[in-house]
Amino acid sequence: MPYDLDAFCHDCRDALKADTGPGGREAVRRNLERLLAEKSFLDQHVLAMEPGRHTLYEDPELGFVVLSHVNTKASKSPPHDHGASWAVYGQATEHTDMTEWRRTTGDGPGPAEIEVARQYRLDPGHAGTYDIRAIHSIDYPDGARFVRVTGTDLDRVPRLKFNLKTHEAEVIESVTTGPG
């Protein structure tokens, strides 16, 4: 029996109710990799979608959100976090180069020094987890598409964007982290 969006959301809800910490998020990551292996899911919710960000599901009880990102042009985000939310990115087409950062000075908005902690590529079918306040940046080519699950609607939580030139962290509350 194929694994579909409804089954994925149900499994995520069960996993996050059973474990609100890293174990629940790891279950979401594993389930997302399973979902990304389903051609029918990709055809309907990723490949057939118009360019842009699409909300596929928002859980009314737990608040987690499943999004499809359809990118026509290459883009690179500045280092940023998702504030009080976690995120799981799952690659559908092309790839995304992920960089995880470690903050070495400062706390909150204002002066901030960060350094690269880890770099790797997410290829189709693979997913990565980014914990609450984990600083990361993404870099993808033309045509990259991915599915992202967040712990809450990111439009509702303040987040930080890090400027590597000025060594400042600033609060963002918009739909996207924008260009670096």
pLDDT value at 89 more than 90: yes
Tokens found for residue 106: 């400062």
Q: What is the mean pLDDT of residues 148-167?
A: 95
What string of DSSP letters covers 108-176?
Answer: SSEE-EEEEEEEEEEPTT-EEEE-TT-EEEEEE-TT-EEEEEESS-GGGS-EEEEETTTTEEEEE-SSS
Q: What is the mean pLDDT of residues 23-47?
A: 98
pLDDT value at 111 more than 90: yes
Q: Identify the band that residue 68 occupies on the pLDDT scale cut at 50, 70 and 90.
A: very high
Query: pLDDT for 165-176, tens place per residue?
Result: 999 999 996 554
pLDDT value at 179 more than 80: no
What is the C-alpha separation between 81 and 151, in angstroms, rounded? 13
Handedness of CA 141, 152, 134, 31 (dihedral sign): negative
Give the global pTM.
0.92
Give bridge partners of residue 101 from the DSSP assignment.
116, 135
**For the chain, what is the mean pLDDT?**
95
pLDDT value at 177 more than 70: no
Q: Domains in the chain, please, with CATH?
A: 5-172 (2.60.120.10)
Query: pLDDT for 93-110, tens place per residue?
Result: 999 999 999 999 999 999
